Amino acid sequence: MKKAKGSCIAIGNFDGIHVGHDILIRRMIDLSNENNLESIIITFEYVKNDLRKSSMNMKYINSTNTKLQILKSYNVDKVVKIELNEEISRYSPEQFIKLLVSQYNAKNIVVGYNFTFGYKAKGNIDTLKDFQEEYNYKVEEIPPVKYNGIAISSTLVRKLLLEGKIREANKLLLNKYTLFHEELYIDYDKNIGFVDNKSSILVPPDGKYLVRAGTKELILTIVSKNKGAVLTFDKKLEEKIDIVFIDKAS
């Protein structure tokens, strides 16, 4: 049983859990075990679109609920979602570090090489290292994991998916790209689904895709409309089954 003497924290947005995220999280778990610390994963959710660092039209690989479920599958002591509201989104880097120390008793902090934090993303790895002695914690930076010479990131995975390069994206994700049934409106009598264009969930571009739904392999056709994307399946769908993308259909 771990002693309550502090925590080891992995921090990141963790949109679409890819192989780089997996290395980071597993390193945090190893460190927590080595140092007898509580293991914590911290991720974020923007409560308003205008507080997001990037375009408000950016689509996510996973919904917040799905992301949290995947992170909980690591069986760490805690998975924490910090809501970036008007107040916290304006924290200076030092204020954010104080939050990690005061609320979670951080003793080890594990982050990716490109991690930024604080108001206008002014904090980075060097900032975390600058405050190590003052706030009594240690930082470990996970270097980039590369695919074809390019650092793997959620941005890269998102780009591949938006280009319809499903097979390549799946090589980087821990689990194949999936549209979860809770995120879709599906008419099971007509084998048609719909994703509203206001949804924050990424949908691959128009075309035909080989997908798996339960035990069945199907061809899914995606056609964009003014109000969203229409998904048509060539076989009868079972109810409440997730749609797992395998490849582009020939």
Please name the amino acid found at residue 232: T
Q: Do 136 and 21 share a structural domain?
A: yes
Q: What pLDDT band is residue 57 in, cutting at 50, 70 and 90?
A: low
Q: Do 129 and 32 share a structural domain?
A: yes
pLDDT score, position 51: 41
Residue 234: pLDDT over 60: yes
What is the rounded distance in angstroms from the CA atom of residue 114 to the CA atom of residue 120? 15
Question: Is residue 1 in some structural domain?
Answer: no
Q: Do 110 and 184 share a structural domain?
A: no
pLDDT score, position 162: 95
Tell me: the pLDDT tens digits for 5-16?
899 999 999 999
Q: Do 58 and 126 share a structural domain?
A: yes
pLDDT mean over 133-140: 97
Question: Is residue 36 in some structural domain?
Answer: yes
Q: Do 216 and 121 share a structural domain?
A: no
- What letter does residue 227 receive in the DSSP assignment? T
Tell me: the pLDDT tens digits for 181-216?
988 999 999 999 999 988 888 999 999 999 999 999
Q: Do 32 and 103 share a structural domain?
A: yes
Evaluate whether 229 touches 223 at the Cβ level (below 8 Å): yes
pLDDT score, position 41: 98
Question: Is residue 154 in some structural domain?
Answer: no
Q: What pLDDT band is residue 55 in, cutting at 50, 70 and 90?
A: very low
Q: Do 123 and 16 share a structural domain?
A: yes
- CA-to-CA separations, 170 to 76, 157, 176, 200, in angstroms, rounded: 25, 8, 5, 20
Q: Do 230 and 109 share a structural domain?
A: no
> In the chain, how many domains are there?
2
Evaluate whether 241 touches 213 at the Cβ level (below 8 Å): yes
Residue-number span of the structural domain to which 66 is assigned: 7-147
Which residues are CB-contacts of 99 (< 8 A; sequence separation ≥ 6)? Answer: 88, 91
Q: Kindly report whether the global pTM for this prediction surpasses the value 0.85.
A: yes
pLDDT score, position 246: 97
pLDDT score, position 48: 55
pLDDT score, position 3: 52
Question: Is residue 166 in some structural domain?
Answer: no
Question: Is residue 162 in some structural domain?
Answer: no
Strand extents, DSSP E, 29-77: 38-46
Tell me: the pLDDT tens digits for 93-104?
999 999 999 999
pLDDT score, position 4: 59
pLDDT score, position 52: 46
What order of strands is seen across the sheet that includes strand 38-46?
A: 78-84, 38-46, 7-11, 106-112, 138-142
- Picking from 99, 131, 147, the residue at the C-terminal end of a domain is 147
pLDDT score, position 19: 96
Q: Do 129 and 63 share a structural domain?
A: yes
pLDDT mean over 51-59: 55
Q: Do 15 and 63 share a structural domain?
A: yes
Which residues are CB-contacts of 185 (< 8 A; sequence separation ≥ 6)? Answer: 193, 194, 195, 196
pLDDT score, position 54: 46
Q: Do 188 and 76 share a structural domain?
A: no
At 235, which CATH number?
Answer: 2.40.10
What is the rounded distance in angstroms from the CA atom of residue 166 to the CA atom of residue 49? 27
Q: Do 244 and 205 share a structural domain?
A: yes
